[in-house]
Amino acid sequence: MRPISPAPRPQLGTPATGMAALAVPDPCAHCDARPVSVCSALEEKDLHRLAALAEVLEVAPGKTFIAEGEKPEHFFNVTGGTARLYKLLPDGRRQITGFARQGHFLGLAVGEANAFSAEALEKVWVCRFSRTRLRQVLDDFPAFERRLLGTAANELVAAQEQMLLLGRKTARERVASFLLAQARPLRPCDAPPGRFHLPMTRTDIADYLGLTIETVSRTMTRLKTEKLIALPSPAEVVLLDRARLESLAGGFEEERF
Amino acid sequence: MRPISPAPRPQLGTPATGMAALAVPDPCAHCDARPVSVCSALEEKDLHRLAALAEVLEVAPGKTFIAEGEKPEHFFNVTGGTARLYKLLPDGRRQITGFARQGHFLGLAVGEANAFSAEALEKVWVCRFSRTRLRQVLDDFPAFERRLLGTAANELVAAQEQMLLLGRKTARERVASFLLAQARPLRPCDAPPGRFHLPMTRTDIADYLGLTIETVSRTMTRLKTEKLIALPSPAEVVLLDRARLESLAGGFEEERF
DNA sequence: CTGCGACCTTGTTTTGGATCAATCGCTTGG
DNA sequence: CCAAGCGATTGATCCAAAACAAGGTCGCAG
């Protein structure tokens, strides 16, 4: 595993074309950690071969590029922007199962139907592979398959964490957990930013945390009045007291005053 | 993929030793479907080689064989019995993330710590591999790795379904979904039984569905008085009206009378 | 047989978050 | 400039499920 040196690399919020679409952020200089990605385990020569099998697409905000229940035709690597992944009940209740950012792999779904829908929150760039070629790709790139297994294992861990949140945490604990997760950098070794932008609406946050929009709003307001966070604007968050947020998110009893 | 013909195979509730520990139920005569399992994609000769790398263990009821937060030393294939998989919050709140039955694979966890604990509900038989040999096993058995990826993808789909349940379904819908899932046979092509045994307590069910024990009990009682199910004993369930249960579980509006 | 402990059920009260209902600020388009 | 529309916030009320509280049933050890 080493830097994919001379190839241009996409920045968050910029499109990526050709081979660059498969690239990922530079590994950390100290620990070599990178966000889990389709190709982060591949050598440069393999990247070129893989790029020939892929198409690069730009998805406009609000556009659905994976539809729950439909036959899976492709698999995707998100290279920029953010997408919401969700499931619906027949009466319209929605559960967002995750937000896909740069490096996220979509379409592992086995069987006859996609288990969820994916919709661009903001402009999204994806690198798309034909599903019929997946077998070929896996056979040709053993490192790719190994990496995919690692990706899936990571997602499974995240899904279990989310089940704990949805099944057993209070609204306050859920929002604290969410804000801390959003503050997590793409490369785990980077320092988490104290200030960041939320690309999703309050409705998205509510549907992700199993709450209503009103409860999300009230809870954020309360965290603000308690000086745990600041909200320069509804979509800008500043973490003012990370320690107390961590303790809240982890489900520790709240200290009494 | 074909039957592992002459090898003895474990029955639910019976121990398995030696190579049989790696075996799975007979494939369905009609569709060749089997429960997802470590070895269900392997040829018989590979099974023998793989068996040499594994130990067979019997886990007594109540015993924890994977502990959340500890360094993962092994990975497991459950060959009989049922285990609860759970995460805890510091104050003791518990979320059961799943129940592992015959064929379930445990320990894909990446990184330095197990993401959950696993505890035998009833007597459990597992086939255990040393984690340090995982790399070797994956390298030696490409079909194993492919199967593992399929397993992980299936679990991811189940986890997303559970997130929908925990985030957006009512108590009634959760219990209906749970009962139907418990009625699902190990081989998907088999007809689901109309009557089955619940190996877990009401407390386990509550911690799996994000409810309290009282709500689970009341909801089951109500389904019983409405003749959707019968409960010959607390642990024996008979599905009396599968269609209405499916509709309930799927989140369709309840029909008015 | 009796007493104990686990587990389950049922009744009552409480409450966290949902629901219903405005209002406020932006942005956009006329 | 104003109107319309959308997202966010805030307030008032409601309710599904939690919490609290008894009992009941069963299996088992003494």
CB pairs under 8 A between A and B: 131
Q: In terms of domains, do A131 and A186 share one?
A: no
> Is B251 or A17 the better-scoring residue by pLDDT?
B251
Looking at A109, A131, A162, the residue that finishes a domain is A162
pLDDT higher than 70, residue A232: yes
**pLDDT-wise least confident of A163-172, B50-59, B92-101:** B50-59
Q: Within a domain: residue A5?
A: no
Rg (CA), chain A: 19
pLDDT higher than 90, residue A139: no
Looking at B111, B142, B162, the residue that finishes a domain is B162
Task: Give the phi and the psi of residue A111 in degrees, each rounded to 5.
Answer: 90, -165
pLDDT higher than 90, residue A27: no
Q: Within a domain: residue A182?
A: yes
| pLDDT score of B96 | 98
Strand, helix or coil for residue A124? strand
The answer to whether the CB of A119 falls within 8 A of the CB of A64 is yes
Q: Per-residue DSSP letters for A180-217?
A: HHHT--SSTTSPPPSEEE--S-HHHHHHHHTS-HHHHH
> Is A237 or A5 the better-scoring residue by pLDDT?
A237
Q: Per-residue DSSP letters for A41-88?
A: T--HHHHHHHHTTEEEEEE-TT-EEE-TTSPP-EEEEEEES-EEEEEE
Q: In terms of domains, do B186 and B209 share one?
A: yes
D6 C1' to A152 CA distance, Å: 37
> Is B239 or B107 the better-scoring residue by pLDDT?
B239
Share of chain A above pLDDT 70, in %: 81
Q: Per the CB < 8 Å rule, is A115 touching B160?
A: yes
Q: In terms of domains, do A116 and A142 share one?
A: yes
Share of chain B above pLDDT 70, in %: 81
What residues contact A225, with CB distance under 8 A and at least 6 apart?
none
Taking residues B94-119, report their average pLDDT: 92
Q: Per the CB < 8 Å rule, is B149 touching A145?
A: yes
pLDDT higher than 70, residue A40: no
Q: In terms of domains, do B175 and B158 share one?
A: no
Q: Within a domain: residue A157?
A: yes
Confidence of residue B42 (pLDDT cuts 50, 70, 90): low
Q: Which nucleotides of D are covered by protein (CB under 7 A)?
A: 7-12, 16-21
Taking residues A127-144, report their average pLDDT: 82
Average pLDDT, chain A: 84
* Chain B CB contacts of A166 below 8 Å: 163, 166-167, 210
Share of chain A above pLDDT 90, in %: 62
What residues contact A134, with CB distance under 8 A and at least 6 apart?
A75
Looking at A162, A181, A208, the residue that finishes a domain is A162
> Is B146 or B7 the better-scoring residue by pLDDT?
B146
Q: Per the CB < 8 Å rule, is B164 touching A138?
A: no
Q: Within a domain: residue A12?
A: no
C3 C1' to B232 CA distance, Å: 28
> Is B142 or B98 the better-scoring residue by pLDDT?
B98
Q: Report chain B residues touching chain A, CB-CB < 8 A.
A: 87, 89-91, 93-95, 97, 108-111, 115-116, 138, 142, 145-146, 148-150, 152-157, 159-164, 166-169, 207, 209-210, 250-253
Q: Within a domain: residue A2?
A: no
Taking residues A2-27, report their average pLDDT: 42
Q: Within a domain: residue A204?
A: yes
| pLDDT score of A133 | 80
Number of Cβ within 10 Å of residue B87's Cβ equals 23
What domain range includes position B205? 169-249
Taking residues B161-171, report their average pLDDT: 98
- CATH classification at residue B184: 1.10.10.10
Q: Tokens 């499916």 identify what position? A: B246
| pLDDT score of B36 | 41
A218 touches strand C (CB under 7 A): no
D17 C1' to B170 CA distance, Å: 9
Confidence of residue B22 (pLDDT cuts 50, 70, 90): low
| pLDDT score of B46 | 67
pLDDT digits (tens, 9 = 90+) for B51-77: 778 899 999 999 999 999 999 999 999
Give ∠ CA B156-A25-A39 in degrees, rounded to 5. 50
pLDDT higher than 60, residue B201: yes
D10 C1' to B118 CA distance, Å: 45
The answer to whether the CB of B198 falls within 8 A of the CB of B233 is no
Q: Within a domain: residue A185?
A: yes
Q: In terms of domains, do B64 and B121 share one?
A: yes
pLDDT digits (tens, 9 = 90+) for A184-219: 998 888 899 999 999 999 999 999 999 999 999 999
Q: From CA A70, how far away is CA A117, in angstroms rounded?
A: 9
Q: In terms of domains, do B97 and B117 share one?
A: yes
Q: In terms of domains, do A88 and A208 share one?
A: no
**pLDDT-wise least confident of B44-58, B70-84, B190-204:** B44-58
Average pLDDT, chain B: 84
Confidence of residue B107 (pLDDT cuts 50, 70, 90): confident
A109 touches strand D (CB under 7 A): no
Q: In terms of domains, do A73 and A144 share one?
A: yes
Our count of domains for chain B comes to 2
| pLDDT score of A46 | 67
- Torsion A111-A112-A116-A119 (CA) sign: positive
Parallel/antiparallel/unpaired status of strands B83-88 and B94-100? antiparallel
**pLDDT-wise least confident of A140-154, A167-181, B16-30:** B16-30
| pLDDT score of A236 | 97
Of the ranges A159-173, B15-29, B66-80, the best mean pLDDT one: A159-173
Taking residues A24-45, report their average pLDDT: 49
Closest C-alpha to A78, from A140, A114, A126, A6: A126
| pLDDT score of B45 | 65
Taking residues A164-181, report their average pLDDT: 98
Number of Cβ within 10 Å of residue A157's Cβ equals 18
- CATH classification at residue B127: 2.60.120.10
What residues contact A228, with CB distance under 8 A and at least 6 apart?
A176, A239, A240, A241, A244, A245, A248
Q: In terms of domains, do A56 and A151 share one?
A: yes
Q: In terms of domains, do A177 and A237 share one?
A: yes
Strand ranges of the sheet holding A83-88, from the earlier edge strand across to the other edge = A64-66, A117-120, A83-88, A94-100
Q: Within a domain: residue A146?
A: yes
Q: In terms of domains, do B91 and B201 share one?
A: no
Strand, helix or coil for residue B146? helix
Q: In terms of domains, do B106 and B34 share one?
A: yes
Taking residues B77-89, report their average pLDDT: 96
Closest C-alpha to A176, from A103, A107, A230, A250: A250
Confidence of residue A35 (pLDDT cuts 50, 70, 90): very low
Of B138, B156, B168, the CB nearest to A95: B168
Burial class (CB in 10 A: 0-12, 13-18, 19+), A186: middle
| pLDDT score of B229 | 98
Per DSSP, A108 falls in state -
pLDDT higher than 90, residue A18: no
